[in-house]
Structure 1
Amino acid sequence: MADFELHCRETQIILGDRFEAVHLWLDEFFLSPQYGTRHRRLRHHQAGIYEAARLFGPEAARAARIHILTDLRMEGWNEGYPFPQDEAHFVALGLW
C-alpha cells in the first residue's frame, strides 16, 4: 500500500495540492481491526470518488482517483482491467 506521504506528494505534483483530507478519508478504515488492508473495498472505487467530490469538492474527485489508481496498481491491477464501481464490484473483481 502506498503511504500517506506518497499519496500527498503525488497529488501535489499532479494537481498542485496535497489533498490530505481526501487521502485520510480514503484510508480511514486501514487501522480498523474489522478491515485493515481490506479497507479499500469501502471507498477505493468509482462510488468512493463520487463521495469524495460530494464531501470535499470537484477537484477532490481527481485526487481520489489518483490515490485509488496508485493503490490498485501496487496490487497488480492495470488499465486493461475494469475499474471497480462500488464495494460489491470491488470484491467481485477479487481486489481484497
Structure 2
Amino acid sequence: MSSFEEHCQESVRLFGRPFREVHLWLDELAGKPPHGMRHRRFRHHAAGVRQVEALFGPEAARAARQHIESDLRQEGWTSNDPFPRDSEQYVAMGLF
C-alpha cells in the first residue's frame, strides 16, 4: 500500500504539487472502524474522482485518479481492467 507521503511524492513528480488535501480526503476512512483497509470502496472509483473535482478542482481530480490507480495496481489491477465507476462495481470486481 502506498503511504500518504508516497502519494504526495508521486503527485509532485507528475503534477508539480503534492495535493495533500486530495490524498487525505481519499484515505480519510482508512483504518477507522468499521472499515479498516476496506475504506477504498467508498472513494477509490470514478464517482470519488468526480467528488474530488467538485471539492478541489479539475487538476486535483487528475491527482485523485493517479492515487486510485496506484492503489489498485497494488491489488493486481492493470490498465486493461475497467476503472471502477462506483462502490458497487468496486466490490463486484473483487476489490475491497
TM-score (norm 2): 0.98
Name the structure 2 match of 1:16.
16
Aligned equivalents of 1:34 and 1:59: distance in 2? 31
Name the structure 2 match of 1:28.
28
Name the structure 2 match of 1:43.
43
Name the structure 1 match of 2:56.
56
Tell me the SS of whatever aligns to 1:42.
helix
Aligned equivalents of 1:58 and 1:78: distance in 2? 24
Map Cα deviations across residues 64-96 of structure 1 (whole Å, 9 max, x no partner). 001000000011110111110000010111101
Map Cα deviations across residues 24-52 of structure 1 (whole Å, 9 max, x no partner). 00000002111111000000000000000
Name the structure 1 match of 2:4.
4
Aligned equivalents of 1:88 and 1:75: distance in 2? 17
Unaligned residue ranges in structure 2 (runs of 5+): none
Paired residues, number: 96
> Which segments of structure 1 move beyond 6 Å, counting only runs of 4 or more?
none
Aligned equivalents of 1:75 and 1:89: distance in 2? 15
Aligned equivalents of 1:81 and 1:58: distance in 2? 24
Unaligned residue ranges in structure 1 (runs of 5+): none
**2:82 paired with 1:82:** yes
